[in-house]
Amino acid sequence: MPWYNAEAVKTKIHPKWYPEARVHCACGNTFVTGSTLPEIAVEICAACHPLFTGQQKLVDTAGRVDKFNQRSAAAKQKQEEAAARKAVREAKKAAAGF
Ligand SMILES: [Zn+2]
């Protein structure tokens, strides 16, 4: 017995309904739900979401954390280069007697 009432919906206007659609999570968990798609792939589910697990975890599907770390390292290097240039400039000024 499905959880929805098949007689309550109009005929010919609804997409095909899969009452036992499989959901696959990136964490390896799978479960069954009702959907218009027979198979669904998700990145996060109730078994692995930090809200439900209570564990701190980075969800990084698009490599955003890596990109941020790269940008952060590049910015730090530029700051150091600028500081070195400034030190040289100050030293020249001091040598010129200002
Ligand atoms: Zn999951």
Give the global pTM. Answer: 0.46
71 inside domain = yes
Contact 59, 44 (CB under 8 A): yes
Residue 1 lies in a domain: no
The residue with tokens 């590049």 is: 74
pLDDT band at residue 1 using 50, 70 and 90 as cut-offs: low
Domain limits for position 32: 6-96
Distance between CA 98 and CA 95 in Å, rounded?
8
Residue reference for tokens 């027979």: 38
For the chain, how many structural domains are there in total? 1
Cα 44 to averaged position of ligand 1 atoms, centre (Å): 4
Residues 2-41: tens digit of each pLDDT: 666 767 777 788 889 899 999 999 889 999 999 999 999 9
Q: Cα(30) to centroid of ligand 1, in Å? A: 8
Q: What is the CATH number of the domain that holds 28?
A: 4.10.80.400
- Give a yes or no: residue 26 inside a domain: yes
- The reply to whether 47 falls in a domain is yes
For residue 95, the CA-to-ligand 1 centroid distance in Å is 64
The rounded distance, in Å, linking the Cα atoms of 57 and 50 is 6
